[in-house]
A and B are shown apart, each in its own frame.
Chain A
């Protein structure tokens, strides 16, 4: 578009042409915004460097190599007081990832269960589920975490009178945490794992082949059950051939506490349970909305084609519902990862607790530590949203 001379009142000066041209104006605005942001950034930067100088603090990431003089109550990678801050960062990340991963798996299962309960034709079941959702999602998560920690796990018995869950003498719950058997792999256990990996690949290949053949010829092949058989069967055989090279280290009461096995502290359990219960409400709502979003005509059409209710659900309803469920589901998983940082309130050593609180207080490197923690969460977030975009591209309606 050519620049239009709008000097209708006789002033066709180049100035008014420039002022009224949208392109020039947009460049002008952008320069102003850029300048303001840069000035703000410079202002903050100069203040910060002045303040740091006044307090005699250095900046930079050198502190990561120095030793952290505190101990951490729970870590899945070995840690002891005296390891470096970088190692503390990694301990925090692994703890956060462990907690979030377990919570995501459990909350997804519970959420689907509650969501399906809400859609039940049984009025009582639907009401029960809907009150579960209403009550728990309208109370703050932090309050729920504190409730589990202070009101439930704090009144658990001492190790001596542990609650024996399932009465198998395997899972012991007391005020020091939950004790459970730990697997101790033997020499040849890796063979079983390798077989498992190969079986999964083979089962996946069979599933693809079966689908291709069905698309081409219409002949069905029970790929699912074959796959289950392969994945369970072959590793089992290998496991038995190599002489069952897996022992369980069972926790036993010795003196005042349990020895052997693995354990998680009460703080972990409190955060885990609260995260699972709280986020399941949101997942339940997504599942309900997703299934309701599939129009009833789909069900009727599939019945009129002669499909049984089970097949209708599996082949018609669920694939379409998943398209609506998965995107919010994954962003909810992201929220689980973010909310796992509330573990700090009950003293579970997640990333924020060990790094942003303890390490920051000890080393004083506020800017570096805040940046590193935010970097971790952003990386997780970008990874998850990247996966989500890929999935969306995969399942979105193909317009033909």
Chain B
């Protein structure tokens, strides 16, 4: 222990660079060893799972692709070619139009396409960046579009009320997109642009609404004049079918169940006993029975309940049932979200002197809805799957259309292929929605982590 100061001769401890990890613990091999073959049992399980996957995938592949018949004019032809060892996709492709539009006449199919195209376009601003007032746009799409779409699909004579609603729908569609384009290009809202253009920006704020109202009226008048010249033939709802009917029923179910569910959930948490009792009984009654009983109830009892003059068509009866049922479920989803809001938020809002509705719309609901979005999307997925039940009461939705193929003389007895095709279609729709809700959950959750 001498010479501590003599730095020249000091032996400095200098670690050698660390050795690389053993090659069998890193990279692909390491991953395989760790995750698939860490023990004899794991190795066995891996091989067993691989075998199961192999059996399923290879058989499906062989049936659906290798041995499949894509071109044929009847099931007999398919059977003669490959028997039951291959899929007869020709049956599906021959019926594709019916799967999507039902028996809607060919030359009128553009109306269905136009309707759904409009709706998609209407909802599109929701996903565009830098667009403000998304809630208003979304609400207008959900609440007002059914009138325009319903007229497009059904056609025929339109009364004054429907004419007004159609004009309102056109107006709000135009305003939504004008606002969207404007706010994406300049970052300003349509409201501000109208105020500025009309020269009202110097005047007091309370008067700013007048030019906006005037603009609305002008567009409304033009829309009213335009739509009154429309003349499209009436298409009976008996002709509606396939994916089209599935989307109409579940779409209306979604559009009604969300606001109705919010009202019911608020009613259930209300301090007024009469309102609470009504809401609780409605929710609990319809949550505790199967949807099929509600559908039967609608089909058998709605004609009894209403005066004989009003005899709703079957699709309306089914929609009533689906709306009642999904509202009850949505109410519970919303209640879950409301309960997750800490009591301090309510108290703070009350301490600020906000009224009940201001407290709900400005403080509680925005937070609660954000929490609820994944669950709401979950309910929508459930609703989309549940609409298949309308086939039991005889509505030609996608499922009944898939089933109907086998009753056609040419395609007699073809069950598996249409059902597999339908399953794939439903799977894609639901899977995309559920992945999207998980994505929303993550992005919204990221926003909350900062609290």
Contacts and interface: CB of A to CB of B under 8 A. Distances in A.
A143 B305 contact: no
Interface stretch (B144-152, B157-165, B272-280, B367-375): B272-280
A352 B419 contact: no
Given A47-B304, A52-B304, A339-B290, A33 B275 contact: yes
A48 B304 contact: yes
B389 A342 contact: yes
Given A33-B278, A140-B426, A154 B415 contact: yes
B103 interface: no
A199 to B, nearest CB: 36
Interface string A99-127: 00000000000000000000011111101
B52 interface: yes
Contacts of A37: 278
Interface of A: 26, 29-31, 33-34, 37, 44, 47-48, 50-52, 54, 120-125, 127-128, 134-135, 138-144, 146-147, 150-151, 154-155, 334, 338-339, 341-342, 344-345, 352, 356-357, 360, 366-367, 370, 373-374, 377-378, 380-382
Interface stretch (B9-17, B34-42, B116-124, B168-176): B34-42
9 contacts: A37-B278, A47-B304, A51-B308, A121-B42, A128-B49, A134-B431, A139-B426, A142-B388, A352-B292
Interface string B90-129: 0000000000000000000000000000000000000000
Contact of B301 (A366, A373, A377, A382): A366
A143 B301 contact: no
A62 to B, nearest CB: 18
B330 to A, nearest CB: 16
B293 A124 contact: no
Interface of B: 35-36, 38, 42, 45-46, 49-50, 52-53, 84, 271-275, 278, 284-285, 287-293, 296-297, 300-301, 303-308, 381, 385-386, 388-389, 391-392, 399, 402-403, 406, 415-416, 419-420, 422-423, 426-427, 430-431, 434
A34 B278 CA distance: 9
A52 B52 CA distance: 59
A150 B415 contact: yes
A275 to B, nearest CB: 12
A374 B289 contact: yes
Contact of B427 (A121, A128, A139, A366): A139
Shortest 9 CB-CB contacts between residues of A and residues of B: A381-B288, A138-B430, A150-B415, A30-B274, A338-B290, A123-B35, A366-B300, A140-B385, A151-B416
Nearest to B431: A138
Contact of B49 (A44, A125, A155, A357): A125
A122 B278 contact: no
